[in-house]
Chain A
Amino acid sequence: MNDPLAKIKPWFQGVSLFWPVLGLGLLLIFNAVFSPSFFHLEIRDGHLYGTLVDILNQGSKVMLLAIGMTLVIATGGVDLSVGSLMAIAGAVAAMLVMKISFAMAVAISLGLATVAGTCNGLLIGYAGIQPIIATLILMVAGRGLAMLLTGGQIITFEHPSFVFLGNGHFLGLPFTVTIVAIVLCFTLVATRKTAIGLFLESVGDNEKAARYCGINAALVKVMVYAYSGLCAGIAGLIATSNIKAADSSRVGEFMELDAIFAVVVGGTPLTGGRFSLVGSVIGALLIQTLTITMYNLGVAPAVSPVPKAIVIVAVCLMQSARFRAQILGWFGKRRIAA
């Protein structure tokens, strides 16, 4: 009743962005202390150059995937196929870009990724297949398809516009940052300024109730998987452009897991319902920062997954209201006992 922590408690409850931001902040402070070069920025060839810029640039792929994944997870689903869709989009674009116009190549590859995502959505929305199974099919088959297209070879290309996509700079920052910003703003407006966001949340919270309210739940699902496919396609183009080669067997490998991590770390529960796009983007930045931190600290690659996992578990635990209540409970008891 007379809880001494009553004033602080609201800070720790319901603020979905608080914990990922705190995690990212602590990680940055840690880096500031242990690797002095981390915050060093300079202008080189007319653009910013430094570790922070790398995090934004390399993290852009997971950020894009996480934006699409957030919407999928908001409807209570999951999309495991995004890594393979990256491979397909990259392979198609790399093969077409030297033959037809750049705009056409981008349109075709993104179109294909969206169509593939739509197929996922149809399987889930209308055929009623579990999301994890439906997207697993494309996760396995999609990479095979990409390898079939490229004959298992790494396809290299020299095309200034395509190379610019993943390596160019705009306003002093990598162009990828602009792409992520555009996709994020578009998604935010589409979900928060229209009723779409509400539809997603209601389908994720209680699909039956949503249907009785007149929401076409199946169509909503098709839309989010298609959008996730599109985001994966963009990420695939960036990844391919970044190394100037379509490495269809390795591009985006395990990136679906990073994207799911990013969404969960960002505060969107896997059970569906409420979601936070900004949280997911911060989650993606947190994961990329962790990776770069491991490089900077010189942690042996065989053991570096362990500290990474610890940080991610810590952030996830802090988000759990029950876990926090437990900790606060112990803390409170001690205070009272004293």
Chain B
Amino acid sequence: MKKSFITSLRSVGMAALSYALVAGSPLAAMAKPLTVGFAQVGAESAWRTAETESIKAEGTKRKVNLKFSDAQGKQENQIKAVKSFIAQGVDAIIIAPVVETGWEPVLREAKRAKIPVVLVDRGIKVSDDSLYSTLIASDFVSEGKMAAEWLAKKVNEKASIVELQGTPGAAPAIDRKKGFEAGISKYPAMKIIASQSGDFRRSGGKEVMEALLKKYGNEVTAVYAHNDDMALGAIQAIEEAGKKPGTDVVVVSVDGVKGAFEAMVSGKLNCTVECNPLLGPMAFDAVEQAIKGEKLPKKTVVQDKAYDQSTAKDVIASRQY
């Protein structure tokens, strides 16, 4: 009796094992795991980290062999990483380009090696747009416009604005500036009195804001920062100058990181236009389509949304980054 039980157990085990073998083998034959190289800019902000995490997590979920490279904010490192991906013969390359220009030679190499390239979150300038499959990104110009529209409503179309730009030459800095300028051009009483770069850093935002508050004093009624980190730095500078950020000086920024939501809940930040970093699923959809040889649109736009103090409380708990 006892023996037969063990035998039956064994046979069940065998059956399960053989089923696993049978079920497993055609799957493995159908799709050998993809190898994808991801050339990330760096980890300069919480937003960037969230993007990296999203792409890594989606890669694991789809059982992709993901080769990750952190360029520490430098284009030459990114180009090196892409070259090494090509040398390793990856199936596809994802790039989050640090600046817009200088990509032609390395992308030509990728094209010659027939490796599709998917760009995420920032665009590039190339003479031949067949050099990359698609760009998955938020529209930075429309983010700037949304920030301008929100600010115009908040301050009754009258403001003296300090603009904190991102790193000179970076696509989000250029486009968020362009979009914001286009957005406020409708309102003659809204003008930018100073525009300096805080380099997308918290410390940069604080240092620039300190200097400009000394120069303009009470004249400054609003701050527009190209990312949340600089806005959070500027908020500290405004407080140290004895003013109330969010009340005396209206602060608007872009990105929608968790720190910004916390600042909105405590009333110091007025509005942030979300720029969604969770691009993983879209990026890998595009990678798979590109490998199959499907034609992709040159740009896939990620939908963005403006959050203000009234909506911040409800969404803060659900923020992943």
Contacts and interface: CB of A to CB of B under 8 A. Distances in A.
Interface stretch (A2-10, A98-106, A116-124, A294-302): A294-302
Interface in B165-190: 165, 168-169
Contacts, number: 85
A250 B214 contact: no
Given A153-B46, A302-B168, A292 B211 contact: yes
Given A154-B202, A302-B169, A44 B242 contact: yes
A221 interface: no
B203 A239 contact: yes
A156 B194 contact: no
B197, B202, B208 interface centre (most CB from chain A within 10 Å): B202
Contact of A298 (B73, B196, B259): B196
B43 A152 contact: yes
A40 B211 CA distance: 12
A291 B210 CA distance: 12
Interface string A173-190: 000000000000000000
B311 interface: no
A45 B196 contact: no
Interface string A54-68: 100010000000000
B42 interface: yes
B170 to A, nearest CB: 11
B236 interface: yes
Interface in A134-165: 143, 147, 152-154, 156
Contacts of B310: none
Interface string A294-313: 11101011100000000000
Interface string A32-55: 000101001000110001110010
A300 B197 CA distance: 8
B196 A247 contact: no
Contacts of A147: 43
Contacts of A16: none
Interface residues of B, number: 37
Interface in A248-290: 249-251, 253
A294 B168 CA distance: 15
Contact of B203 (A49, A243, A301): A243
A191 interface: no
A58, A243, A245 interface centre (most CB from chain B within 10 Å): A243
Nearest to B72: A143
A143, A239, A301 interface centre (most CB from chain B within 10 Å): A301
B268 interface: no
Contacts of A247: 201-203, 229
A153 B211 CA distance: 27
A51 B203 contact: no
A141 to B, nearest CB: 12
Interface of B: 42-46, 49, 52, 72-73, 165, 168-169, 194-197, 199, 201-203, 206-208, 210-212, 214-215, 217, 229, 232-233, 236, 240-242, 259
24 contacts: A35-B215, A37-B215, A45-B242, A54-B214, A147-B43, A152-B52, A154-B46, A154-B229, A154-B259, A242-B203, A242-B206, A243-B232, A243-B233, A245-B232, A249-B45, A250-B202, A253-B73, A292-B211, A294-B196, A295-B196, A296-B211, A298-B196, A300-B168, A301-B196
Closest 8 CB pairs of A and B: A301-B197, A302-B168, A295-B211, A152-B43, A243-B202, A51-B214, A152-B49, A250-B201
